[in-house]
Amino acid sequence: MSSLSRSKESEHGNFDGERFHNRALFRGHGFLDFLKWKLLFGGARWPAWIESEPQRVPEQRVTGDRLSVTFMNHSTVLIQYQGVNILTDPIWNHRASPLTMLGPKRVRRPGVRLEDLPPIDLVLITHNHYDHLDLETLRSLARRCSPIVLTGHGNTPMLQEAGLEAIQELEWWQTFRHQDLDVVFTPTQHFSGRGLFDRQKSLWGGFVMASSAGHVYFSGDTGVGPHHAQLRERFKNFRVAFLPIGAYEPRWFMKSAHMNPTEAVEAHQLLNAKVSIGIDFGTFANLTDEGIEQPLKDLSEALTSAGVDPGRFITLGFGETRDDL
């Protein structure tokens, strides 16, 4: 059974009738800034391709209080918890782009073949950017298992276009109950838009999977904002937090909407997470200016500088499963 509940403070307090807004001051960048970045700044060179073998998910279901997570690529993670199979921001497409010949191109295969996934019950879509809402992948999932999709307001038409039928739009702090999990859509500092004229017309956010066995937080893309302290206040601590560590250069363009590894470590500490897992790195070339290995190096230095045990903020290999969290 699934059900929906709304926080008293929600009710679209971040919507002006036309566009959604961040709660904190947000220095966004327009199309001219994007052109300036792409035309005047040269990013690090990525490899054309990294050969790798897809892995297998060890179990079809994980029951009881056990938690199993498998990193697929970019911000796509399989979370198996409380008997529910959850897939975040799924992308198996060759490009994170509306075009087949242009746009950020993947440099390695996803860690698990799409056809080898266990049955997916819930798909969580944090926002509608092409590297987080991929219609081709969603069409495949719709044909294969017809999952329930949870996302922010404004994304239903695109999801229906992909053939998905069970769609639940949420506002910040709204809760969707599925079996023994409360899935809460939470604020982030980011934005939405897939073209020149739809910027901030659909809602972005993260997700908390709340359970008596421990809370799991999936951030999606975000800059530094007040939401991490708000999450700590509401949920006290987290069993696992998935935090982005890539797509942060150049800082003048990325800082408002993307954390760097130092800021991700600060978020880990604010959240009081038992373990954080880095996401959003090492998959698509030309999505960012830092080198493919730079997020891992910068994360290691940030953990040392902050005095955080490296075992408490980890990264997984593509297709790697951890079930001891």
pLDDT tens string 193-221: 998 889 999 999 999 999 999 999 999 99
Give the domain 52-322 fold: Metallo-beta-lactamase; Chain A (3.60.15)
For the cut 90, the answer to whether the pLDDT of residue 88 exceeds it is: yes
Q: What's the confidence (pLDDT) of residue 41?
A: 66
Q: What is the value of pTM for the model shown?
A: 0.95
Over residues 156-204, the pLDDT tens digits come to: 999 998 999 999 999 999 999 999 999 999 999 999 999 888 999 999 9
Over residues 235-281, the pLDDT tens digits come to: 999 999 999 999 999 998 889 999 999 999 999 999 999 999 999 99
Instruction: Provide the mean pLDDT of the chain.
Output: 93
Average pLDDT over residues 277-304: 97
The domain segmentation of the chain, as residue ranges, is 52-322
pLDDT cut 70: percent of the chain above it: 92
pLDDT cut 90: percent of the chain above it: 82
Q: Which residues contact 5 (CB under 8 A, 6 or more apart)?
A: 174, 175, 177
